[in-house]
Amino acid sequence: MIRIVIPGWAMPPALYAALNPDVVFDYGFFPGSIESADASFDVFPLDSTNPSAVMTFAPPKQPYEMVAHSMGALAALARSPLRDNAERVVILGGFAKFAKSSDNPLGVPISDIDAMFEN
């Protein structure tokens, strides 16, 4: 079965390789290092500021599973061809809301999230 991995922040490329993926989405968090982790999987580049861009990826016709971590869970659960056609969806460390706000006081401060995009 084909395995598609949709990463989140702070998931190093070596961990992608350990999941034995066929396809890994690259949000650009580790430029140039994904291919060096394991050349046996395809890399599909995405814009980290637009997780819904996963919708532009044409999923395979044969059965596949999707493994999503953190922010990748948002893309995996979004209304998209990936979610609709997956035989299995595995979510690692998914959460309902990441950013700190009045309804999520334990979330990550917006300034910290902004800094993640800058680095």
Burial of 96 per CB tally in 10 Å (0-12, 13-18, 19+) = exposed
CA angle at residue 113 from 15 to 49, to 5 degrees? 75
Does position 92 have pLDDT exceeding 60, yes or no?
yes
| pLDDT for res 104 | 87
pLDDT in tens, 31-77: 555 555 555 777 776 665 665 555 566 778 888 998 988 777 777 77
Q: Residue 109: which residues within 8 A CB-CB, separation 6 or more?
A: 99, 100
Can you tell me the distance from the alpha carbon of 81 to that of 97, in angstroms, rounded to the nearest whole number?
A: 23
Stretch (H or E) spanning 118: helix 110-118
Tokens of 118: 């800058």
DSSP character string of 31-50: TTTHHHH-TTSEEEE--TT-
